[in-house]
Amino acid sequence: MTSAHHMRKHSKLISGSGLLFLFMAVCQDALAGTPGGTVSYAPYAAQGIPTLSEGMTMVLALLMSVTVFRVLRNKGGRPLAVLVAGALLILGMASSTEWMGRALAIGFQFNVESGGTVNVLVNNIDISIANQTTKPQQITAITPYPGQVAVAPPSATPIMPRCEVTTVVAPSASCVVRFALD
C-alpha cells in the first residue's frame, strides 16, 4: 500500500469520527431528556421598599457634581474639577434613565396575575424571565427536568438577580435562570 492510500484511509476514519462526535454533541440533550425545567411563581403579598425616582436620582447627581466641583476648585484644580463634575453629572443622569438597559433579551414571562409556571425548554443559556404582571411575583419552585440541574447563571447582577426560590420579581423587572445537563 502506498502512503497516499494510507492517507485516504485515515482521513475517512478521522472524518467519520468527527461526524460521530458532532452527532453526539447535537443529540446529548435528546439523550438526557427534555432540556431545561420549570419556574413556578405566585403573587407576593408584601409591598416593595421605596427607592429614589428618576427625577430625584438626577437631582442627587447634580448636587454631587456641584459639591465635587467646589471641593476640587478650592484645592486649585479647576480644569480637573470641571472634568470630574461633568463626568459625574453625565453618569448620574444617564444611570437614572431607561437607555441603560439590560443585555439579555426577554424570552420568558410571568404573565398571569394569580401565579403560574414558566416552562424553560433550553439549557446552557442564561434565560431572563420578566414579570409582565402588575403585581410583584415570588418564585415558589424551580424544578429541573430529568437529567438537568439549575446552575448559577454568570450574567446575574443586582439589577437582574438569579431566579431562586423566594426571589421576588417586581413588575417590569426580571431574574435570570440557567439549566444545564446533570
**What is the phi/psi pair of residue 116, to 5°?**
170, -155
Mean pLDDT of 141-145: 93
Q: Which three cell numbers stand for residue 123?
A: 439549557
Sorted by where each begins, the domain ranges of the chain are: 34-47+102-181, 54-95
Percent with pLDDT over 90 in the chain? 31
- Secondary structure E strands in 16-156: 37-43, 106-110, 116-120, 127-131, 137-144, 148-151
* pTM for the model: 0.51
| pLDDT tens sequence across 71-111 | 777 776 667 767 777 776 677 666 555 444 444 444 789 99
pLDDT at 123 over 50: yes
**Residue 84 burial (C-beta neighbours within 10 Å; 0-12, 13-18, 19+):** middle
Q: Report the pLDDT value the prediction gives residue 5, as an integer from 0 to 100.
A: 53
Q: Report the pLDDT value the prediction gives residue 26, as an integer from 0 to 100.
A: 45
